[in-house]
Structure 1
């Protein structure tokens, strides 16, 4: 089986990944590496160029200024039809040379205007409709952008053989909003975006190395508010007041000015996962932590939770978006409702940590969830079975 894997950027060159897109690019990178082991040949298509008249760039800039200063709405030039028709044309030309059995697009816009003889599969975290008025940067969109995103959603789900999503939430959104045939909508949880050859014995050693006299919490996220950084900070502060020795490490953002953060907070700021040094730093921080706490207000999926489980670290988050597909209460952490009180979080952490033998059981169970459900080998094996049905 030969698969063409299309991205608008160079998926194999981490240095070309934009800071805001590192998580998304990383997901597609690890997905591609795992797929390559499952199929006869994986052919990469990308990077793609902006092959359209320069006049359109002027038009896009003018539209952007208009909406920014007059309508006060968000305009997204990448959603313009001409941009994505250009991408589709380039992909089509590559397909003539590659002649694959299947075309896989991890981004909806790449499939929307693509016409080819091969079955087209989209494998992503969410539809555009699922993100609208959910993510802050997908709120208050202008009419043009709204119409273009919805049009791309519809075109893609009409033509694709399968629409694969990482969560039950995303899959159900597509069925509910667009009345897509449920038989073509599939759920395959994404894996951890880490290289992992750890065994259960390795995890036991990692868990045993964590201090039992200090509860180490880790917040990972570039977007402080959307990821619930303020909630994580409140939880750590209240736990400290109960007498529990707590350390909260904040990675990805710097919410405090002039280093004026509380004494129990460690804030190394943004660490670039696209470098080996940065990846090693983050992996070390995860391995040393007792819990990942990322109580997101909006989240399409959350690969960080899978990564945490790969180190035997339980996860604490919210019952929103795709998170409940990953985190199963009593197995690899706990999800709370968006209106849960700080004391709800604190009681859970306090009770688990003070019964440290129960914490260790939860940590090992978290690794078991990673091994059985939340890794790219399992995900791509499941996908391969779907792909084989098409050819």
Structure 2
């Protein structure tokens, strides 16, 4: 099929959405489709200034935040421009990952497949940058998002958490909404050594957002275990908190696209015993898919779409969002006393990766949707 792929950057860009856009583009090619980049519409300086002015007016009148990414006037401008741009292409399908605003008022006969890892309505007061909006802005956001979902021939989400919300909250027909889980954005080894040295245990905190991913909570949990005499170590990769203990190693940044630094990432995933990221809010943490590929059990929070990639009691531990450092320390202590359970979790993690947390599976399942158009 001839598929238009709507994206803000060229499809070869491996950094777009942490590599996820490139992986989807790659799989569409592997499945034999012809893929054409449809560049995201751009706004003039005059339009951008007008958008900012609308936000300022709302802030001044209501003394509340405004969703500058998704509002009616901007959606209408984008819709008109995209409608005109698409007339240059002859497409069998239009693939729209993540963009809501530009597709609300789009007029086209081309079947649209919309993809996201969450609904904007789910993120209101859940993610920091979607918090503090006024009631009118929230209503406008939900109205516009519903129109995009209604206009799409199919909507695809990376978790049942996001898919079920579309059906239950927006009333979209179940047949039009699918779940296809994302894969790992790095190369994974063919074989895994599940039985690791238990003289000490390395807990990997792999994240760039120390606050939202609750790195301090992970640190406090491990500190409790350290004070109890357990040989635990913490490896922080991706951020740079002010921690000076000798049992904590901090690597602020490693670039996946740099071969030497990528090898270091691989080595840390292979040598660690657990991925410990007790996130406060998450839709689809790709790091959890990557952990599965390396047979790494995950310790995290049962929030958002996390449970799509971590099954509590199977390939890791999920605690409630209210759990404190003592709660995590107690659950981890149980695992440290049962190395065979950790080994079992490790094997299950790789099974989960091989079954569904890989991009090959995504490509096959997505092509099945395309065949139904």
**Cα distance in 1 for residues equivalent to 2:257 and 2:124:** 28
Cα displacement (A) at 1:323: 0.7
Residue 116 (str. 1) matches residue 134 (str. 2): no
Aligned residue in 2 for 1:227: 213
Is it true that 1:378 corresponds to 2:361 in the alignment? yes
Counterpart check, 1:242 vs 2:228: yes
1:2 match:
2
Matched, 1:61 2:52: yes
Give structure 1 stretches of 5+ with no counterpart: none
User: Which residue number corresponds to residue 12 of structure 2?
Assistant: 12
Residues in 2 aligned to 1:142 and 1:315: alpha-carbon distance in whole angstroms? 37
Given that residues 41 and 82 in structure 2 are in contact (C-alpha distance below 8 angstroms), is that contact kept between their aligned partners in structure 1? no
CA separation in 2, counterparts of 1:221 and 1:165? 22
The answer to whether 1:28 aligns with 2:31 is: no
Alignment-derived partner of residue 310 in structure 1: 293
Q: Is the 8 A contact 1:221 1:252 kept in 2?
A: yes
> Alpha carbons of 1:369 and 1:220: their partners in 2 closer, same or farther (altered >3 Å)?
same
Distance in 1 between residues matched to 2:210 and 2:175, nearest whole Å: 38
- 1:20-39 deviation line (CA, Å, top 9, x unaligned): xx6x3422221221222113
Structure 1 residues 108 and 9, CA gap change in structure 2 (3 angstroms): same
Q: What's the offset of the Cα at 1:121? A: 0.9
After TM superposition, give the deviation of residue 13 of structure 1 in Å. Answer: 2.4
Query: 5 Å matches for 1:189-204?
Result: 189-196=181-188, 198-199=189-190, 202-204=191-193
Q: Which residue of 2 aligns with 1:325?
A: 308
- Judging changes above 3 Å, is the alpha-carbon distance between structure 1 residues 76 and 341 closer, same or farther for their aligned structure 2 residues? closer
Which residue matches 1:169? 161
Q: Distance in 1 between matches of 2:235 and 2:328?
A: 17
1:188·1:383 contact (CA, 8 Å) conserved in 2?
Answer: yes
SS in 2 for 1:126: coil
Q: Give the Å deviation of 1:74.
A: 3.2
- Taking structure 2 as the reference length, the TM-score comes to 0.90
Residue 71 of structure 1 deviates from its aligned partner by: 5.7
Shift of 1:100: 2.0
Maintained 8 Å contact 1:50/1:83: no
The answer (yes or no) to whether the contact 1:331–1:369 under 8 Å persists in 2 is: no
Separation (CA, whole Å) in 2 of partners of 1:50 and 1:389? 32
Partner secondary structure for residue 59 of structure 1: helix
Q: Which residue of 2 aligns with 1:264?
A: 247
> Given that residues 11 and 25 in structure 1 are in contact (C-alpha distance below 8 angstroms), is that contact kept between their aligned partners in structure 2?
no
> Secondary structure of the residue that 1:141 maps to in structure 2?
coil
Which runs of 5 or more structure 2 residues have no equivalent in the other structure? none
Are 2:87 and 1:101 aligned? no
Tell me, what secondary structure is at the counterpart of 1:77? Answer: coil
Q: 142-151 or 260-269: which moved more? A: 142-151
Check conservation: 1:45, 1:91, Cα contact below 8 A.
Answer: no
What root-mean-square deviation, in Å, do the aligned CA atoms of Structure 1 and Structure 2 show? 2.5
The correspondence for 1:351, drawn from 334, 339, 344, is 334
DSSP-derived class of the 1:281 partner: helix
> Aligned pair 1:39/2:28, yes or no?
no
Contact 1:352-1:359 within 8 A present in 2 as well: yes
Alignment of 1:365 with 2:356, yes or no, is no
Distance, in Å, in 2 between the alignment partners of 1:9 and 1:145 is 28
SS at the partner of 1:330? coil
Q: What is the CA distance between 1:265 and its match in structure 2? A: 1.3
Distance 1:277 1:146 in 2: 45
Equivalent residues, number? 372
Deviations 1:245-282 (A, max 9, x none): 111112222221xxx43222111123344544544433
Distance 2:41 2:59 in 1: 26
Task: Answer whether contact 1:130 1:174 (CA < 8 A) is retained.
Answer: no
Match for residue 197 of structure 2 among 196, 207, 211 = 211
- Cα distance in 2 for partners of 1:283, 1:144 equals 47
2-structure distance, mates of 1:68, 1:307: 41
> In 1, are the aligned partners of 2:67 and 2:130 still within 8 Å (CA)?
no
Structure (1/2) with the larger helix percentage: 1
